[in-house]
Structure 1
Amino acid sequence: MSKMNRIPSIIDIIRFFLLSLPSRMLFKSPSCVYSSLGNCTTNTLDYAFAEDPNQYTVRAINMAYQNSMGQREAPAFSDVRMMNWLYNCSSFCSNVPVPPCRQPGYQDPRNCYSCKCPRIFGGQYCEQLPTGSAMNCNGAVIQATSSSWRTLQGFAGDPDSYDPQSDATDCFWHITAPAGRRIQVRLSSPPDQCMEGCPWQSIEINLGQFDLYGMIMCCPSSVGQVYTSVSNLVAIRGAARYNQLTFGLDYRII
């Protein structure tokens, strides 16, 4: 099928719609939604049309989020929420009490008694660790109780598979701390597959803005950099399209 006759995907449709909106409707907060489909850059075209081929066409203000820009894996949670808001989808649930959604979840217009959650949360009310789709996933909720560094050794995927997959499989981890404390994390061992945009293996670390994507990492250049959570929860997603994802992530409470 030629490019001109290609049937648009849901990602194409949402991206076209978001790009045609006035900026005042897209950005209701001062933070840039790096992972939105409305972001014009793509992971594979970071240098496209640049006068200097060694400089990014679009550079993230916070470089920890450079790999999150231009993702085309799926609509971001903020994209879906924006579409539901624009089309007043909550009207489908006008006769149903609003469920007690946690995190940035909201009443799901397709199932009014449950919540629409970011992918890093599961359960009826976004209160649980989601079930990962990857085989050999060792996802877990980890209690951080020490101010000394501890290490999460995460893995997900098939170590015997060397066939690239079109869709990523994933695995999730939550690191929690006592109320009133925060968490520091640092990558100690990166995934095996390092490539710009992290298309084959990656970990995504969300420090507390759970309606947005987190920092996506896959290369040794990310090792050792310390990040501090917003509250007492850090959510992590591991994704693999090739072989088995393995990584080490240090954590402690402060």
Structure 2
Amino acid sequence: MLNGQSTFTRESLEKFLDDMDRLDAIESKILGVQHSGIKERLRRPNQTEEEQPDMLPFLFEGDIILNEEQMNEILSEAEEQLEAKEAKDENRAVKEPRQRTLSSSLAGRWSQMPIPYKLSSNVDRNAVMAGIRQWQDNTCIKFRQVYSTSGQGNMLEFIKGNGCYSNIGRVGRGAQQVSIGRGCESVGTVAHEIGHALGFYHEQARFDRDSFIRVMTQNIQNGLAGQFSKQSAQRMQTFGIRYDYGSVMHYGSKGFSTNGRNTIETIDRNYQSTIGQRFGLSFANVKMMNKAYCGGQFVNLNCQNGGYPDPKDCSKCRCTDGVAGRTCNQMRSTRTKCGQLIRASTGTLQTLSQSGAGECNYMITAPAGRRIVLDISSLRFASGAPCPSAFLEVRYANDISVTGARLCSGSRVRITSQSNQVIVLYRGSYRSSFSLRYRYDPPTPSGGVTSPPQTRRPITQRPTRPATRATPSPGGQWTQWSPCSSPCGGCGTQSRQRNTPFVAYLKSIHPFLISGLSASK
């Protein structure tokens, strides 16, 4: 299926399939399942390619093309993981993982902006452009359309191949193909494939996934255990961003299933209908890409609630869904004119409900050191896995900026927050509704709590701005402006200092004390 519609030759495709078979044999041992050859499997008819065009059994993790160097790195790491598992099972010492240099990293970043791209004549132009806009409108990454692959250097070429697939990061020289085939035209799917080309792995391949999901090996098709490989902390950068169930890069719950049952189950079952969405980029997707490409010394804005300096407007913070304000310190208002900041009480259960079409954003807070308990008694939405566009989302983890549990069906649900804040997002159609009751836990007797909940700075309903103060200007000459700290359009800074004896004295005490005697822009 790939020969003639990708950069593979017949020989390199044969080598790739041999390596995929070897990878599956290793992963089968890691996961404790039986291995069957992938080539034998490809001879048997299967409808997966048509039903799930981003779950192609002969590609790495269903939609990733690896070059020879990348495949060798993947195989080497899988062998290290198997060695570590066998050593643990046999109660013997585990070898130190091989350290890799940056040049051997699979997530090759694009160093030149804008990134050239070409559209093949038969690809869905509107779908590709919508996916590009997802990244270009929300990050500092820029794209530029060209009409020939010659003389462009590194670039993307969007084709209509058999399925959805891409390379991982920037590879080699010249054009690398991104296939947007039949069934791949949703904006989320196109953004997903572009995410691979920019260096993103699948979310469920994170090194810390075992704290968030379970791989249900008994439900995986024979010969496809290798599709559930896990990257190491040495290779995958997360920039400190929590595992995101709502990532557009996450597998759905039934990927490569042999019996229609789940191959991935979330450890917290409330998140089961969150994974696998292809409606668009999540806040964490955008934040991580901005951290990777728009880094540098950001302006210190004291962003709250998981926000960060907006790479397109350095005067404000970029806020998660439902939150607004220059520093992400207030709830975002909506046309539905609902939603509010609510302070929970411990003595009385309070009720929160909403119905009909619209969006509502609620923040429930409790005193410092208390957890919030929610009893959701009624959910009326169109069911689905993942939830479709109408749902109730509850963010109750310590990091309330990452996608919460999206609920669209099921019986009564009880949720206890990890901190003293909960965000509730209602996204309803005209038949939708929900009802819940909430309170915060009463004080725990002395000695009853070993790990207190995280306490957050309270959110306000109106944006606040610090008062502007004039700083006395000491004598002395200013130095030249430094180069901008952000090379590709992000929120960078430039600085200069005034050289005075007083500055020299402060430097001798502590270097951070001179910030008031410097200028930045």
Task: Name the TM-score, length of structure 2 as normaliser.
Answer: 0.40
Separation (CA, whole Å) in 1 of partners of 2:430 and 2:371? 34
Residue identity opposite 1:181 in structure 2: R
Residue 162 of structure 1 is matched in structure 2 by none
Say whether residues 1:216 and 2:406 are aligned partners: yes
Alignment gaps of 5+ in structure 2? 1-119, 135-190, 206-230, 442-521
Would you say the 8 A contact 1:191–1:201 is kept in 2?
A: no
Q: Which is greater in Rg?
A: 2
User: Which residue of the partner structure matches residue 56 of structure 1?
Assistant: 262
Structure 1 CA distance, aligned partners of 2:300 and 2:278?
31
Amino acid in structure 2 at the alignment position of 1:231 = S
Give the 3-state SS of the residue equivalent to 2:360 in structure 1. strand
Q: 1:234 to 1:51 in 2, by over 3 A?
A: same
Which residue pairs with 2:281 in the alignment?
75
Deviation of 1:229 (Å): 1.1
Residue 247 to residue 109, structure 1, CA distance change in 2 (3 Å): same
Give yes or no for the alignment of 1:6 onto 2:124. yes
Residues of 2 paired with 1:153 and 1:170: CA distance? Answer: 12
Which residues in structure 2 correspond to 1:172-191 (within 5 Å)? 172-191=361-380
1:162-196 superposed Cα distances (whole Å, 9 cap, x missing partner): xxxxxxx5321111112222211121111243333
Q: Percent identity?
A: 28
Runs of 4+ in 1 over 6 A off after TM superposition: none
- Kindly report which structure 2 residues correspond to 1:94-109, keeping only aligned pairs within 5 A, or say none: 97-109=299-311
Is 1:251 aligned to residue 463 of structure 2?
Answer: no
Please report how far the alpha carbon of residue 19 of structure 1 lies from its aligned counterpart in structure 2 after TM superposition. Answer: 2.6
Could you report, residue by residue, the CA deviation over 1:88-134 in whole angstroms, capped at 9, with x for unpaired residues? 3445x5xxx4112111111111111111111131111110011235x
2:415 to 213, 227, 230: 227
One-letter amino acid of the structure 1 residue matched with residue 288 of structure 2: M
Unaligned segments of structure 1, at least 5 residues: 158-168
Contact 2:381 2:391 in 1 (8 A): no
Q: 8 Å contact 2:241–2:284 — kept in the other structure?
A: no
For the pair 1:39 / 2:276, whether they are aligned, the reply is: no
Q: Give the Cα separation in 1 of the matches to 2:296 and 2:359.
A: 29
Indicate the structure with greater strand content.
1
Question: What is residue 353 of structure 2 aligned with on the other side?
Answer: 153
Q: CA deviation at 1:230?
A: 1.7
Once structures 1 and 2 are overlaid, which stretch shifts more, 195-204 or 27-36?
A: 27-36
**What is the CA–CA distance in structure 2 between the aligned matches of 1:251 and 1:114, rounded to whole Å?**
33
Normalised TM-score (structure 1): 0.79
Does the residue aligned with 1:211 lie in a helix, a strand or coil?
Answer: coil
Cα distance in structure 1, aligned partners of 2:232 and 2:407 = 29
For residue 66 of structure 1, what is the aligned residue in structure 2? 272
The answer on whether the counterparts of 1:191 and 1:245 sit within 8 Å (CA) in structure 2 is yes
- Name the counterpart of 1:193: 382
| Cα-to-partner distance string for 1:195-244 (whole Å, 9 max, x where unaligned) | 332215210000132131111111133x1x3211122111011113x324
Deviation digits for residues 30-63 of structure 1 (CA, Å, limit 9, x no counterpart): 963211122122xxxx43531112x113222222
Q: 1:140 to 1:30 in 2, by over 3 A?
A: closer
Report the residue type matching 2:409 in the other structure.
C
Residue type of the partner of 1:229? S
Match of 1:207 among 388, 391, 396: 396
1:76 and 1:187 map into 2 onto residues whose CA distance is 25
Shift of the 203–66 alpha-carbon distance from structure 1 to 2, 3 Å rule, reads same
Q: Which has the higher contact order (CA 8 A, sep 6+)?
A: 1
